[in-house]
Amino acid sequence: MKVMVAMSGGVDSTMTAKFLQEAGHEVQGCYMMLHQKPGYHEENIRKVKKVGEYLGIKVHILDLQEKFNEFVYDPFVKLYKEGKTPNPCALCNKFIKLGALLDFAKANGCEKLATGHYVQVIDGFITCAKDPSKDQSYFLAQVPKEILKDVIFPLGDKFKKDIKELARSVKVLEEFATQAESSEICFVEDTYIEVLNKHYNTNLPGNVVDKDGKIIGRHQGYMHYTIGKRRGFEVFGAHEPHFVIKINADKNEIVVGTKDDLAQKVVELENVNLFIDKDKFECETKIRYRSPKLDAFVEVDKENKTAKLTLNQNALGVAQGQLCVMYDGDKVIASGFIKG
């Protein structure tokens, strides 16, 4: 079978290509240029070409910067300007890695696209990886169900520590086995604020207000804050912790309250992606990547791709723009972006 492998120059994509070749598949590699982070691509392309030579496979260099800007980078900047907290990796997986790259793979005669994601596809559902510490099912939950038949994830049933150990045993791959883990957001060097500073003045001081709109302090620029943050702003005469509970971007204003004020049981979603044909169901849900799963009841408006999520217990730090993913056990059954 002809398989295109998304290759980054890292250990996971490298071992993905090696496993598939050892399984007898006709493998091609593809490195995607997605952004213009200084010095980022040159070293990665060198590594990818080195792997290509070692495996004896063709390696494509695909410039997807225009699409990446349209579907990932520009929305990232726009959402922060609106006072929301974006999830660029979910958009990148949907539109770029398992979107534009899949189209490229098919155009080059490949039957399947493979990536180094730690996730499984079982019975047509995105399913959690065997290694829970590396599971990426959350970030793939916006991918359309119909494309799952065209993608494979060879690392989904493996543990990262074993992958690195196997890479160490191959002489040409030693440098990949010992390299540091990549950051979650590839185009961010240190902080997201550095990205936003290229487009906006993020350091415009503004008012901190309470739930009633009373001015109680000052902040350093609303884009520095996300829901749940408790530092970096001043509350006059405060004797207890205050948390950001809302961001009014149009007023350059942040609303703060107690930890109890962060609690939320009802969550509204938009751009809902369904993997099951139901408009009402119970599930476990994650309101952000690192959050624990919470029991919930979901009501979906399929026509408008919106949903209302009612949690069985309060969630803290529910942030507009973040991805909410719904599970049935280890299976992803739906996802949507938090709108309020």
CATH code of 73's domain? 3.40.50.620
| Contacts with 251 (C-beta within 8 Å, 6 or more apart), sequence order | 206, 207
Residue written as token pair 């408790």: 230
Same domain, residue pair 23 and 157: yes
DSSP strand pairing (234-235 vs 215-219): antiparallel
Same domain, residue pair 174 and 158: yes
| In-domain check, residue 138 | yes
CATH code of 253's domain? 2.30.30.280
Which amino acid is it at 300? V
- What DSSP designation does 258 have? -
pLDDT value of residue 37: 79
pLDDT value of residue 103: 99
pLDDT value of residue 243: 98
DSSP strand pairing (264-274 vs 331-338): antiparallel
Q: Percentage helix, strand, coil, to 5, in the chain?
A: 30, 30, 40
Same domain, residue pair 239 and 270: no
Domain boundary at 261, 289, 311, which?
261
| In-domain check, residue 189 | no
Give the distance from CA 296 to its chain's centroid: 22
Same domain, residue pair 111 and 124: yes
| In-domain check, residue 190 | no
Same domain, residue pair 18 and 142: yes
CA distance 124 to 110: 20
CA distance 94 to 67: 12
pLDDT value of residue 278: 98
| In-domain check, residue 319 | yes
CA-closest candidate to residue 242, choices 222, 224, 227: 227
Same domain, residue pair 29 and 166: yes
Domain boundary at 245, 261, 277, which?
261
| In-domain check, residue 240 | yes
pLDDT value of residue 189: 78
Same domain, residue pair 250 and 270: no
CA distance 202 to 81: 9
What is the span of the domain harbouring residue 235? Answer: 201-261
- What DSSP designation does 88 have? H
| In-domain check, residue 31 | yes
Domain boundary at 178, 213, 240, which?
178
| In-domain check, residue 188 | no
Same domain, residue pair 9 and 129: yes
Under a CB-based contact definition with an 8 Å cutoff, are residues 85 and 322 in contact? Answer: yes
Using DSSP, state whether 282 is helix, strand or coil.
strand
CA distance 126 to 138: 9
Q: Record the pTM.
A: 0.95
Same domain, residue pair 119 and 33: yes
Using DSSP, state whether 95 is helix, strand or coil.
helix
The domain total for the chain is: 3
Same domain, residue pair 17 and 132: yes
Give the distance from CA 28 to its chain's centroid: 25
pLDDT value of residue 57: 98
Burial of 231 (0-12, 13-18, 19+ CB in 10 A): exposed
Using DSSP, state whether 208 is helix, strand or coil.
strand
Same domain, residue pair 162 and 221: no
How many angstroms separate the Cα of 247 from the Cα of each of 208, 244, 307, 340?
10, 7, 22, 12
CATH code of 303's domain? 2.40.30.10
Same domain, residue pair 211 and 240: yes
The one-digit pLDDT tens for each residue of the chain (340 residues) are 999 999 998 899 999 999 999 999 999 999 999 998 778 899 999 999 999 999 999 999 999 999 999 999 999 999 999 999 999 999 999 999 999 999 999 999 999 999 999 999 999 999 999 999 999 999 999 999 999 999 999 999 999 999 999 988 877 777 665 565 665 688 887 889 999 999 999 999 999 999 999 999 999 999 999 999 999 999 998 889 999 999 999 999 999 999 999 999 999 999 999 999 999 999 999 999 999 999 999 999 999 999 999 999 999 999 999 999 999 999 999 999 999 6
| Contacts with 142 (C-beta within 8 Å, 6 or more apart), sequence order | 90, 91, 93, 94, 271, 273, 323, 335
| In-domain check, residue 145 | yes
Catalytic annotation, residues: 92, 186
